[in-house]
Amino acid sequence: MMKLETHANSINLAEAACSNRRLDELVETHDRFGVPYIRKYKSEIKGIKEVQKCTDAVEIVIKASTGSFDYIIKAQTYTKCS
């Protein structure tokens, strides 16, 4: 019985050490505009995806004019990611 308790205890210690290490790690991510920032993560990350950096942005605006008023019907921004 002593070996099983020691084995279970060592597993718990290893899991605790892993969870403490996980709390201290920093993750570099990007917000929705592609601006990078660094944050601490508090949960396990199963996989890290490569974030594409957007280099160019093109905005397409459709305008309509009726006499003295201009209306924007649709505005859409497209990004070209490398």
Average pLDDT estimate for 39-61: 56
Per the structure, how many domains does the chain have?
Answer: 2
Distances (CA, A) of 74 to 59, 64, 66, 68, 71: 10, 10, 16, 19, 9
Domain that holds residue 71: 52-82
Shared-domain flag, residues 44 and 4: yes
Percent of the chain with pLDDT over 70: 11
pLDDT at residue 3, as a whole number? 44
Shared-domain flag, residues 36 and 75: no
3-state class (DSSP) for residue 35? coil
Shared-domain flag, residues 45 and 74: no
Shared-domain flag, residues 81 and 68: yes
pTM of the model: 0.21
